[in-house]
Amino acid sequence: MTADVAAKNQKTLQQLAQAMALSRGQFKLILVRCNYGDVCQRWSEELTQTCQDQHQFSPTTVHLPPNAQNLAQAIQAIEPFPPDGLQLLGLNQLADVRQFLANSNQIRDRLRRNCPFPIAIWLDDNSLKQMLNVANDLHSWTTSKHFSPTPDDLQQQLRHLLEAFFQRLPHASPDQWLGSQPLLSQSEQRELELAQNELNGHLSPNLQGDLAIIQSHQHRVQQNLSLAKQQLEQGAKFWQTISPPTANSQKRLGWVAFQQAILSLWESEQQQRSLNYPDLHPLKTQFQESQQHFQAAAEPDLAHLVANAAVVQLVNGLTEITHPETSSDPAQVDHLAAVNEQLCQQESFPFPNLWLKALEQLHRVYFQDRQDYRRAFSIQQQQWQVQRYGGQRAFVGASRLQGILYQRCSLDNLPPEIKESGREEDVRHLQERLSGTQSKILVIHGQSGVGKSSLVNAGLLPVLREKTFTGGREGIPILLRLYEPWTEKLEAAIDQTSQRHKKSLAGISQGSPQQRIEAKLRALEKQHCQVILVFDQFEEFFFANPNQQDHEAFFEFIGQLCSNIQQLGALKVVFSLRTDYVGHLLLCNDLESMDCISRDILSRQVLHKLGNLSAQQTSQVLAQLAPHLEAELRTRLVADLSQEMGAVRPIELQLVGFQLESQQIREISAYEALGEHPKQQLVQGYLDDIVRACGPEQERLANGVLYLLTDERRTRPLRS
């Protein structure tokens, strides 16, 4: 059988080389079907050699970049042009194969006019299926060839994929270690499954052991915990029988021990809807075993990764901290606080209940033991956000919504507070404007409490991070909220965001702060990034920088950046501020550098107003976020919240919803039992809780501050 397949492949190779040789000087499109990357690469090299030896020409080989948009874009970059022939590899690994093929189908006539040479496109059966669906016209112009793998090819491909999995561990993201994201690409997973099926179970024991471990991780990503646990145990059983242990077996067992602990955490998260977490000491032991196995495998980097993983540090911190009834060791508390800060820097964390357990301990210590009330309240706000993330709370009070835990966010997967309140259209409109070429600067404005920061943080920023912009550019929104001094804060934000997205800014350290900022933005542009500078709560800029000259210097700099079309053509800028401060932006209309917006900061092309919620939108929000509330209560809430203005302020909805959850009020009768004005009672209760959070020693002072923050009409002035 192996000999037959090899002979057939050799015949296909000769036919393909001859077809390309006969088509030199004219357009010809040949599809070369091959389902395995290594096999494609080998036969592609064989094709080049055959063309050189037998037909005296050398086809150019191009590997498509993951963000390639269409065939013409890939071909235009070839030098010298035109080539004698062309091989295109990497189609199966594109970020969006379907869109690439659809785009190529639309420009097929241009391809035929501008490409007088044969083009061999290597693709697998999955990509061919997509081509038939979205690029049937282009497909009708093609001929095809097919290379089949031998059993030795399949064994080698499988071995390569399994080894690639373990080789990627040192560079894997926290989400990949925790089983939230796969370590193999979609095309690699297809190759793995296809090779396994074609071999029909004829695998060596070590391949079976590795395959079980990797399939366990894939089941975990797909949230099938029972199969993940079963496969992990099967893989562990094989590698534990290796005697004496080898470096390979120790490395596998290190991964197994870590994953066993992680699977236990996933099971606990699914089963526990409170802070009654199981004993963490067994997990601590498994993490220690993982480190020991990696050390024995001479993999100190992997042992270090495990030891410093946020989840391992969190488990260790919670097992070390003393019982709540006794005073905690300061060093242990500080360690747990440092772990919490580490978690805040991550883009996601799949164990909210475990995190809440740590936050509960920290809040107790800061409030009761240390009387550090400001820190305790900050921890409490974190608790509310993590409870929302874990599905235990729908409302977060006066805190702005955070989008950091919605890492995989798109217009079809927005937080319900954004999607169901009509804010989805705002996010869609803003994204469209930022995706086009007309809007270099956008200004989001609205009254205080209308939800500008929540829209930016929980809606716009997550969508921009996940979007692929024109030309395959990766969305890199850079958020700034503190403005003293603005150059230092902006440069730090650029550095932190670049590091998070793994972009290099090496060697940029000379010059003034503004020169360094511009140089770093240019460096990101060269790395195919779509940078969007987002200045949230921008009214704070004018208080941090009260000097008119500072205002002019800032806007002149922003205008220069936006006008630098040649080096920063993709750059966009977003300001978010209260409507009563929009007038401060009129300075832009006097600056030549603001020609990029026609010196009209108040034009409809620039401004985007955010208003309050209508009664209908509020009903939708409550139905989505609080379906447990009695229908009559939801109707009454909408009426009470919209009584004064005919619309609902989002911040007031959050406050009232937060108090309803905290007091476990679900029926209209319990709501009406609060008194003649239940809505006001809930808002007052929220303020009373905030005052109590200031500590018993500070309650009188806090009430006095609230009194001073209101005018004679008992309303809040602008700057309070």
pLDDT in tens, 346-366: 767 889 889 999 999 999 999
The vertex-500 CA angle with 494 and 505, nearest 5°, equals: 50
pLDDT tens per residue across span 224-258: 999 999 999 999 999 998 888 899 899 999 999 99
Residues 539 and 568 in one domain: yes
Same domain, 475 and 541: yes
For the segment 377-390, what is each residue's pLDDT rounded down to a tens digit? 999 988 988 888 77
pLDDT in tens, 154-166: 888 889 999 999 8
CB distance 593 to 563 below 8 Å: yes
Q: 346 with 474, same domain?
A: no
pLDDT of residue 719: 47
> What is the CATH number for 60?
3.40.50
Residue 179 lies in a domain: yes
Q: Which tens digits make up the pLDDT trace of 691-709?
A: 898 888 888 888 888 788 7
In a domain, 220, yes or no: yes
The three-class DSSP label of residue 448 is coil
| Residues 322 and 192 both lie in one domain | yes
Cβ atoms 614, 647 nearer than 8 A: yes
Which of 370, 388, 404 delimits the end of a domain?
370
pLDDT score for 419: 66
Residue 404 has pLDDT above 50, yes or no: no
Report whether 678 contacts 660 (CB < 8 A).
no
State residue 185's pLDDT score: 86
Do 423 and 358 sit in the same domain of this protein? no
Q: Look at residue 155 and tell me if it is in a domain.
A: no
Task: Flag whether 408 is in a domain.
Answer: no
Torsion on CA atoms 244, 245, 246, 252, rounded to nearest 10: 160
- Over residues 42-64, the pLDDT tens digits come to 999 999 999 999 999 999 999 98
- In DSSP terms, 575 is beta-bridged to 443, 535
Note whether residue 161 is domain-resident: no
Long-range contacts of 376-384 (CB under 8 A, 24+ apart): 376/693, 377/690, 377/693, 377/694, 379/340, 380/693, 382/340, 382/344, 383/356, 383/359, 384/658
- Answer for the pair 588, 559: CB distance below 8 angstroms, yes or no: yes
- CATH number of the structural domain spanning residue 587: 3.40.50.300
Across the range 283-297, mean pLDDT stands at: 94
Candidates 317, 218, 250; CA nearest to 307 is 317
Q: What is the pTM of this model?
A: 0.78
Measure the CA–CA gap between 470 and 474, rounded to whole angstroms.
9
Please tell me whether residues 266 and 119 are part of one structural domain: no
How would DSSP label each residue in 329-361? PHHHHHHHHHHHHHHHHSS--S-HHHHHHHHHH
Residue 713 is assigned to a structural domain of this protein:
no
Helix (H) or strand (E) holding 87: strand 86-89
- Angle 300-308/310-320 helices, nearest 10 degrees? 60
Q: Are residues 338 and 445 in the same domain?
A: no
Q: Cβ–Cβ contacts within 10 Å for residue 248, how many?
A: 16
Q: Which domain holds residue 662?
A: 615-708
Looking at the structure, tell me whether residues 458 and 598 fall in a common domain. yes
Residue 117, in any domain of the structure: yes
pLDDT at 69: 80
Residue 407 pLDDT greater than 50, yes or no: no
**Are residues 604 and 531 both part of a single domain?**
yes
**621 closest CA partner among 388, 421, 426, 397:** 421
Q: 607 forms bridges with which residues in the sheet?
A: 443
Whether 557 and 677 share a structural domain: no
Determine how β-strand 468-469 pairs with β-strand 142-146.
unpaired
With 70 as the cut, is the pLDDT of residue 714 above it? no
Residue labelled with tokens 């200031």: 694
Q: With contact defined as beta carbons under 8 Å apart, do 346 and 174 qualify?
A: yes
Q: Is position 451 within any domain?
A: yes
Residue listed under structure tokens 């006097």? 590
- Structural domains in the chain (count): 4
Distance of CA 165 to the CA centre of its chain: 22
- 640 and 553 in one domain? no
Name the residue among 490, 475, 525 with its Cα closest to residue 504.
525
- Cβ atoms < 10 Å from Cβ of 354: 24
Neighbouring C-beta atoms of residue 655, cutoff 10 Å:
23
Task: Kindly state whether residues 561 and 663 are assigned to the same domain.
Answer: no
